[in-house]
Amino acid sequence: MSALPLLEVKDLEVAFKTADGIVSAVRGVSFDVYPGETLAIVGESGSGKSTTAHAIIDLLPGSGTVTGGQVLFGGRDLTKLRSTEMEDIRGRLIGLVPQDPMQSLNPVWSIGFQVEEAIRANGVATGKREVRKQALKVLKEAGLEDADRRLKQFPHQFSGGMRQRVLISIGLSAHPQLLIADEPTSALDVTVQRRILDHLESLTESSGTAVIFITHDLGLAAERAENLVVMHRGKIVESGPALDILQDPQHPYTQRLVAAAPSLASKRIQAAVKADKPLETAEVGGEGAGFDLATVAERTAASAGESTPVIEFREATKVFKIRTGGLTSVAFTAVDHASFQVAKGSTLALVGESGSGKSTAAKMLLGLESITSGSILVNGQDVSTMNRRDLLALRRQMQPVFQDPYGSLDPLHNIGNTIAEPLRVHHAGDVASRKARVLEVLDQVALPQSVLTRYPSELSGGQRQRVAIARALALKPEIVVLDEAVSALDVLVQAQVLNLLAELQAELSLTYLFITHDLAVVRVIADYVCVMEKGRIVEQSTVDEVFANPREDYTRELLDAIPGAHIRLGT
């Protein structure tokens, strides 16, 4: 431990110029990073965490400017440097691993070229052969297999995880003293995320590189960093040693965050339906709220398993024909003989990584994809053999909520029309009764009536997702298919929506098919879980059973990959 900090950020202020005037994004942020140490900056979207990081290396987007404070790196104030001096520091002394691996590599240049470019720009090596040798070395260090051959390939031939490895090797190519990793793995599957972060950790540890790790995931931050900075609305609300903060959060905001973070230690939300407790008080944080409801009511497997299944998959299979150019095509089995049942009023979670076939299974159930073989039964009726009228009737009972809160609502229809649409399509009631029903469901999802005439672009992601839930509920369905419905939401909002879903389930005895890649969420919302891998269901059981005794290696790998799983959070 050296006595002098590598990076000192003092009272940093950043503002953006917008049409509505100057908006300050970072307000008086101060922290230190010592050589070889890992610091995590945690916060929701819009908290200013990425802006802080970009201000350090003078890469603020658009109209952003540093309006006050200092960024001292090895004693030099980075905010006062000329842009040429800054270029010398970026890459050579401070490396960056950007957020989205899918968009951070130039698609028209080979991987080798892009790594070599970084090496040459920072003067690590000169001469064609030396540069090539160095590029191979850093790619191998970043854990890219078969680097010699890979060097000539292009980004589209790489998976997300491999691209992130390339970006890490670019970020570390000049052996910087400080590496800024901006949500480096948020776009990746959990198991890939774990492998990459393990690797990054061992790399920076061996070279003594300090890391600023930006993330929205408290568990991840606690697992990967010694020290933590929690940001909220552009300010630091709490900072200190990671474990101390997680186990004994002091600031109310941190307490809220810690309470909302789902982890393996969490319990199934037991929604208590009380008439005198309106839904908006489904507030996360504080004692006894959120996921830490200690009351473990026995509303689980045994009792629910006896009733007739509402949804039943019988050897359901989906084969896609993928055109390979010309007239040939290759068969790709997206869902491979999947069989499971969902009992009324319970939640079954389909869990798997991207490409495991879980979304395809949901679309088959919704009748949006045809079934290649096998059958899917809803209340005993076979979906695949239905005619149009029966299918329309079925859709009254079964409604979907999709992942992307920005794509699931038509931007040109106002909220009232959006929610009323299923009622109009199914000719449910007259205009007045439809209006009444819209107000009713709006109330159920805890949105004020004033949003009726508003458009989706005026609402936040969580609010849009609540509108999507309201639309799904409008026809009083029995089944709601939730396809990654909370994956894109910030942790506090996610907790709020999950609570809402649990309460609605208890109140309306809804059956959920919950599709997710996030096992931690499964823990708090589901009764049963089916783990999918490459189209097949490899393990299915009650949630408690799967979490306590995972039988398959794959399930165990998924469970291990949940960040911060073994850290006990305090509230």
Tell me which residues in 43-102 interact with other proteins (CB under 8 A): 62
Among 457, 507, 551, 552, the residue binding other proteins under the rule CB under 8 A is 457
d(CA 4, CA 25): 28
Site for other proteins in 312-351 (CB under 8 A): none
Among 214, 378, 409, 537, the residue binding other proteins under the rule CB under 8 A is 409
Residue 178 has, within 13 A of its CA and on its CB side, a CA count of 24
Q: Is 266 among the residues that bind other proteins (CB under 8 A)?
A: no
Q: Which two tokens stand for residue 437?
A: 């029903």
Among 85, 145, 205, 440, the residue binding other proteins under the rule CB under 8 A is 205
d(CA 163, CA 100): 9
Eight-class DSSP state of 3: S
Among 87, 100, 283, 518, the residue binding other proteins under the rule CB under 8 A is 283
CB of 333 to other proteins, least distance (A): 22
Q: What is the dihedral of CA 258, 263, 268, 274, to 10 degrees?
A: 10
Residue 370: exposure state from Cβ atoms within 10 A (0-12, 13-18, ≥19): exposed
Other Cβ atoms less than 10 A from the Cβ of 45: the count is 14
Q: Is 366 among the residues that bind other proteins (CB under 8 A)?
A: yes
* Region of 174-182, 373-381, 449-457, 534-542 interacting with other proteins (CB under 8 A): 449-457
* Region of 90-98, 326-334, 445-453, 529-537 interacting with other proteins (CB under 8 A): 445-453
CB of 308 to other proteins, least distance (A): 24
In the beta sheet, which residues pair with residue 349? Answer: 514, 529
User: Taking CB under 8 A as the rule, which mask of x and - marks residues 370-399 in contact with other proteins?
Assistant: ----------------------x--xx--x
CB closer to other proteins, 26 vs 136: 26
Q: Is 473 among the residues that bind other proteins (CB under 8 A)?
A: no
Q: Is 11 among the residues that bind other proteins (CB under 8 A)?
A: no
CB closer to other proteins, 232 vs 523: 232
d(CA 411, CA 539): 40
CB closer to other proteins, 449 vs 549: 449
CB closer to other proteins, 250 vs 307: 250
DSSP H stretches of helix in 387-490: 388-397, 415-425, 431-444, 461-473
CB closer to other proteins, 337 vs 396: 396
CB closer to other proteins, 79 vs 209: 209
DSSP H stretches of helix in 457-550: 461-473, 491-508, 519-525, 543-548
Eight-class DSSP state of 343: E
* Region of 332-340, 453-461, 537-545, 555-563 interacting with other proteins (CB under 8 A): 453-461
Helix/strand/coil percent split, the chain, to 5: 40, 25, 35
In 189-234, at which residue ranges do the beta strands (DSSP E only) sit? 210-215, 227-232
Q: Is 123 among the residues that bind other proteins (CB under 8 A)?
A: no
Site for other proteins in 14-33 (CB under 8 A): 32
Among 261, 269, 445, 468, the residue binding other proteins under the rule CB under 8 A is 468
Q: Which two tokens stand for residue 229?
A: 């900075």
Among 137, 251, 534, 536, the residue binding other proteins under the rule CB under 8 A is 251
Q: Is 206 among the residues that bind other proteins (CB under 8 A)?
A: no
CB of 407 to other proteins, least distance (A): 4
* Region of 73-81, 84-92, 128-136, 242-250 interacting with other proteins (CB under 8 A): 242-250
CB of 451 to other proteins, least distance (A): 6
Check if the beta carbon of residue 262 is closer than 8 Å to that of residue 521: yes
d(CA 73, CA 71): 6
Q: Residues touching other proteins: how many (CB under 8 A)? A: 81
Which residues are within 8 A (CB) of 105 and not within 5 positions of it... i.e. 6 or more apart? Answer: 111, 114, 155, 158, 163, 166, 167
